[in-house]
Structure 1
């Protein structure tokens, strides 16, 4: 297996620092040609300029790689088209997209967050990823092995930062939807990562043992090799989510348990008397799509064997 990326063209958003920079430099060193996108702003969404992106481009070209800078704001309509056009104008093709850009605004608890804060975060994390995926889609289909990698977060399993968690859970859903669409086209694959890394954004973690653990054990560079594999032509996965960091990767997934069928004569009482059976995780299945998940219920109701 050849694990280089010779001549493959990729767009990486939020690549002016942290994880995005690590992805860009790692891939460029292995032959990929990179559109380095970053609007140069703060983690709270105050715009800056193309300087951060250009600094990474300068780093890549100084090492003998190929890259071009973009200061486009992925939260603005038309940014996806602008980024794709830059790739096409520069190299004539597009093979992969890594949606890494992120920003967050608002407080920790729900009472400290306005709807405007939520919509701002959604516009960057979710709509921004969708803008670029939509613009890139026909070009990725024409590639021999188009790839999209979105960025979700382990925060979706629960932490009291409602804006951020809501957006990252939506990215998980967006990935599943795009992957289902991509499956009809064979070569195009869409996955998401839930990375752990010490970056400007995680730099806001309060002092303490957890902050020290992240800072000391999760450099952005240790997430780059696996993300690079996800955009490689040999990568077989589609629609998956992966916990990534510290040179480790693990599949993350939603599953459906065998559940509990209530007594039809007294369903409310029946559920109340058997809470442990509703939440029992001793048997479970990962549905391939929505139809399969409904089929699990139908099989149960008809008494057909369906659970391992």
Structure 2
């Protein structure tokens, strides 16, 4: 894409979950400002997922309409597949297509793993992972039929790299990367591009954790350009874009070259002795599918057998 070709969404229909405030609201406003018709989905609950009210979503819809855009509010919980299907049907009945899905809805229930109960782990996985799956499943056949789709998963540095007190959130967030990897492969033939966004933004979910000048730099608006690129017609696919405070990076899951050790009785000891070589990142690659690992392993075994 040349730098002067503008990213625009006229004629496109987008669904943004968790769009009643914070990052989701900015996503919805930005898509609408560039021409998309937007379903503003928000359960309207608290940060931990309790409660519900459609007023937050409706306020964003009112904002979009006041600016001359088209939008509708939806209060479905992403954990309720039937409600999500009804939301997608509502978009189809009104606008006839769904081009973009931004899976942004999330909750936090932070505690160290020692203190976390199973219900708090499960609930976070339900909202982030199963919620994104429900929304994606509800649009997948539509996007395949129209041979066009752009899906953005919201991952997190907590999933990619870990964060104290967020074992539940981190597990769910990295699971979305795995979900993306396979969907991008399966969607490629019908121009469905699937990517992940890892935002650093000061929202309701992070307030009280950082000093004010840091919070000011981490405006949610600063993350939006990455979402727009991932949702655009010329979007990449299978890309993890990280964004915060106006800086953009990309994260990758890599595979080192590895070392052939063999399977003799002393293989564990030889592996331990050469672990530094095995984990050496020189010449590491970003595999294009899970098969790359097996290909590398069998290739090294065959080469060793010929010696």
Query: If the length of structure 2 is used for normalisation, what is the TM-score?
Result: 0.92
Residue 182 (structure 2) pairs with residue 174 (structure 1): no
Q: Distance in 2 between matches of 1:90 and 1:253?
A: 39
Q: Distance in 2 between matches of 1:18 and 1:35?
A: 16
Residue 285 (structure 2) pairs with residue 250 (structure 1): no
Q: Distance in 2 between matches of 1:81 and 1:103?
A: 21
What does the per-residue CA deviation read over 1:43-85, in whole Å, with 9 as the maximum and x for residues that have no partner?
1011221000000001111111111001111112313202211
> How much is the aligned-residue C-alpha RMSD, in angstroms?
1.6
The residue correspondences of 1:262-277 to structure 2 (distance < 5 A) are 262=261, 264-265=263-264, 266-277=266-277
The residue correspondences of 1:10-89 to structure 2 (distance < 5 A) are 10-89=14-93
Kept in 2: contact 1:57–1:69 (CA 8 A): yes
Residue 158 (structure 2) pairs with residue 155 (structure 1): yes
Q: Distance in 2 between matches of 1:293 and 1:65?
A: 47
Q: Distance in 1 between matches of 2:188 and 2:214?
A: 36
What displacement does 1:258 show?
1.3
Q: Distance in 2 between matches of 1:27 and 1:271?
A: 51
What displacement does 1:262 show?
2.3
Query: Counterpart of 2:122 in 1: which secondary structure?
Result: helix
The residue correspondences of 1:83-122 to structure 2 (distance < 5 A) are 83-105=87-109, 107-122=110-125
Residue in 1 aligned with 2:199?
195
Kept in 1: contact 2:14–2:31 (CA 8 A): no
With over 3 angstroms needed to count, the CA separation of the structure-2 counterparts of 1:300 and 1:28, relative to structure 1, is same
Residue in 2 aligned with 1:143?
146
Kept in 1: contact 2:226–2:241 (CA 8 A): no
What displacement does 1:212 show?
4.5
Residue in 2 aligned with 1:288?
288
> Where in structure 1 are there 5+ consecutive unaligned residues?
none
Q: Distance in 2 between matches of 1:109 and 1:2?
A: 45
Q: Distance in 2 between matches of 1:212 and 1:295?
A: 50
Q: Distance in 1 between matches of 2:89 and 2:178?
A: 27
Q: Which runs of 4+ in 1 moved over 3 A?
A: 211-214
Q: Distance in 1 between matches of 2:263 and 2:126?
A: 44
Q: Distance in 1 between matches of 2:140 and 2:84?
A: 10
Query: If the length of structure 1 is used for normalisation, what is the TM-score?
Result: 0.92
Kept in 1: contact 2:155–2:196 (CA 8 A): yes
Q: Distance in 2 between matches of 1:241 and 1:252?
A: 5
What displacement does 1:176 show?
1.0
Moved more, 148-157 or 225-234: 225-234
